[in-house]
Structure 1
Amino acid sequence: MSTSYKELTINGLWKNNPGLVQLLGLCPLMGTSNSTVNALGLGLATIFVLACSNAAVSLIRNAVTPAIRLPAFVMIIAALTTCIELLMQAYTYQLYLILGVFIPLITTNCVILGRAEAFAAKNKFVSSTYDGFVMGLGFALVLVIIGMVRELLGTGTLFTNMQLLFGSMAANWQWTVFPNYEGFLLAVLPPGAFLVLGLMIALKNQIDSYILARTPVNMPAAADRRVRVTD
């Protein structure tokens, strides 16, 4: 089974995006996307686990029997999730406390197990790793866009508390877009995430419809033939 890297990229970022098309991993998508830093932190963690789990599954795909395949995949994903938990506790502890239970829940994210079963278990190491990376990137991009929109509408600022992820050098990254903004409470509550995600899905569908309408259609050759009338 072979797939080009261009096709993998398009599928991960657009055509088969986990957040906009497959609608997988909605629990963390809704629960942690109330700010840019929270969304980016979980997005980077998901990319790491997806890429590494795909790589590991690809390496052992011929060494495990069908009877233990899924338990083995879950153990790999759980081990990698534990690694990212320990790294966050060591280097981004405050952000780890904010994200809370959503970090361990990466283990049960259907995106990760789905790609391990559907792609990594059937393909070679490099293409499987790349597939995991772009699928994770597609999920993270949706997560970050929702976080940015909700933070902007909810507080009138962007990139607040980025030092929780990038350290003291990011302490001044906050951008006040709307000074003296009173805030919009619905945007930072879970229903706000559903509304933003719904608008993003609608926008993607509109873009897909526009692209499809602009794509030339090859008419049958018979339609271009002129009918010859003979006496």
Structure 2
Amino acid sequence: MIKNLELYIKSPKIFFGLFMCLFLLACTNYSKEEGLVILKKSIRAHGGMKKFEKLNALSFNKVTRLFNEDGSLEQEIVQKQSFQLQPVFLTKIEWEKNGISHEVFYDGSEVIKTINGQMISDSLELVTATNLAKAASFVFFQPFKLLKDETMLMLEGEIDLNDSTDVSVVSVKFPNDESTDKWKFYFNDDNQLVANSVEHANNMSLIENLEFQDVHGLLFNKHRKSFYVDDLLNKKYLRAEYFYNDLAATFAK
């Protein structure tokens, strides 16, 4: 061991390389720990995990407005989204389009989709329905849904978001996620989750959480906007706006 140490000391390049490896490893571990610390603080700021785990069921009407690049309204979609969290997790999404009713049921492993009451068997339709249900619960139940053992959290530092809000930036890598999408979440000085960004292959979006609503001590989103942005988060144009209305919830005693 001493001879090896003497070798490293006598070989500056080897010694420096070893030092840098250890330094980078220490920084990486620190960034992971700090990312988790920030997320846990945010969960407490949004009501706490204990209260969230008492949530039995929740439903609301989600209004989605999509916009063209010139600012004109492309379409408006109104969905009723319902979630059962206990004893098992279930998702139900209902909406109408051109007078035709659509329903999606998802239990975490199997999905059922109906159109005007008729079950759909097309595999592509069912994949789309599964992704819709997964995305619905993931989006609404942030930051709570980010706390999973397999999720990799990395503190990347602090930035001035929109030249108005100092935020901590935490990048997130999800388990079993084979996509190339890059997710980042932004937490303000009050530990609230105020925005997230996702970088796809061809574009990048910044989603701002503009207004929250208190549900028996739990803080959920009420109003959000999604912008197409460049690599520096400069806004190109408003792509979507989301409202979460008529929220109702039940809790375990």
TM-score by shorter chain over 0.5: no
- Shorter-chain TM-score category? under 0.3
Question: TM-score normalised to the size of structure 2?
Answer: 0.25
Question: TM-score normalised to the size of structure 1?
Answer: 0.27
